[in-house]
Amino acid sequence: MLKLTYMVLILATLPNVALGGPTNIRLGYEFAWGENIGWTNWRDANGGDEGVRVETTFLSGFIWAENVGWINVGDGSPVDGVRYANVDGLDSGVNIDDATGDLFGLAWGENIGWLNFDTRVALRAYGQQARLDFASGRFHGYVWAENAGWLNLDDATHFVACVPPPVIITWASMKEHDTGNWLAIPLDPHATNDVVAVESRADGIEVIDVTVRASAPFAVTDPVLAVDANNPGLTYPANLSPAVIDNGDDTWTVMLEWSPSLPDLKCYVIDLAGCIPDLVGDTDCMVRGVKGDVSGNGITDMGDVANLKNANEQSWHSTNWPQYDVTCNGGLIEMGDLVQSKTWGEQVPFPQASCP
């Protein structure tokens, strides 16, 4: 209790900083050991209001070190909005490489000067560079303080971890083949142009399942729209019913449903940024609907007919090749699929959709 009071008093001397919000360091996972500075507390500055906050590409807030006072990891306002430049004290702080989780950049200790979080050159060979594991939210590795030696983020018992923000794991266009047999065509959220996945099955895009990993339940707070990628004025709001399904393993499925289905022969972009609080990572995904385009190249032509004919002869099952079961009758690839794609493939000009 004494210690806490002392911390609050000391905080009165902190400079005013613009922080992104209260700490998101987890209770019980706030301590790391410095070889010359003792325990550091990443969470409790000013009752948590100014503790360390982990954002997508940087940290903000203050660490309290019992023997050397405050350590500032950044003010939460990088000049470019993304990362601290660390070319002068005005725009300094600790950054996160959002591809690898590696930390880099500088923190400032009021009594010990700079702490260098970029230990990639010295320690990567040993797998001990300072870094954040996105899945668990925990920090690993070592930080170097020029006047205070190593700060250990890698202790098996006392380590620092944040509440990891929700992140999208998978996207898929779903169809019910026969009754109760839902099959997925996976979508790549990074894809653009002519490699964007195609929903080839009858009745076009009806259900998109988005799997989100999160440490706590969440709500979809804003309407989710499918936007015509080539005509952004055209939008189609999704129904959410049920909104979010708990898969029981820290993942949830957000089921987006359109009824009637999205018009065929268009490219859509669906962006969940702003719809799920604190969602990070690649939040938008494109998908196009081109009935009968079993090859997924964005155009239904005689090539698809040939493809289906081949699949028919080889008796590939639709579980493995859902895009081939154009009729969604759940059986093997059969005559109905061929007829449907042939009907479409004979139209001139060939039915197609392209994405920007």
Distances (CA, A) of 168 to 162, 188, 272, 306, 314: 18, 11, 9, 36, 36
Pairing mode, strands 225-228 and 149-152: unpaired
Among 189, 204, 322, 351, binds Ca ion (CB under 5 A): 189
Judged by CB under 5 A, does residue 337 bind Ca ion? yes
194 Cβ neighbours under 8 A, 6+ residues apart: 297, 298, 354, 355
Question: What is the identity of the amino acid at 86?
Answer: N
**Residue 84 neighbours by CB under 8 Å, 6+ apart:** 58, 74, 78, 91, 92, 93, 94, 95, 105, 106
> Among 30-38, 99-107, 268-276, 318-326, which window interacts with Ca ion (CB under 5 A)?
318-326
Residue 27 or 302 with smaller CB distance to Ca ion: 302
Residues 6+ apart with CB under 8 A from 43: 23, 25, 26, 27, 30, 51, 52
Q: Which of 329, 339, 342, 352 binds Ca ion (CB under 5 A)?
A: 329
Strands 284-289 and 198-199: parallel
Residues 261-290 that bind Ca ion (CB under 5 A): 282, 284
Residue 204: closest CA among 285, 254, 258? 258
CB closer to Ca ion out of 32 and 224: 224
Q: Is 297 a binder of Ca ion (CB under 5 A)?
A: yes
* Between 163 and 191, CB nearer to Ca ion: 191
User: Measured from the CB of residue 262, what is the shortest distance to Ca ion in angstroms?
Assistant: 18
Query: Which is closer to Ca ion, CB of 152 or CB of 295?
Result: 295
Site for Ca ion contains 203 (CB under 5 A): no
Evaluate whether 206 touches 175 at the Cβ level (below 8 Å): yes
Q: How far is the CB of 32 from Ca ion (least distance, A)?
A: 35
Task: Work out how close the CB of 261 gets to Ca ion at its nearest, in angstroms, rounded to a whole number.
Answer: 18
Minimum distance of Ca ion from residue 317's CB (angstroms): 11
Instruction: Give φ, ψ of 6 to 5 degrees.
Output: -60, -45
In terms of CB distance, is 49 or 188 closer to Ca ion?
188
Residue with Cβ nearer Ca ion (199 or 304): 304
199 scored as a contact of Ca ion (CB under 5 A): no
Least separation in angstroms between CB 304 and Ca ion:
4
The size of the interface with Ca ion (CB under 5 A), counted in residues, is: 11
Phi, psi of 332 (to 5 degrees): -65, 165
Query: How far apart are alpha carbons 128 and 149 in whole angstroms?
Result: 15
- The binding site for Ca ion (CB under 5 A) comprises 189, 282, 284, 293, 295, 297, 304, 325, 327, 329, 337
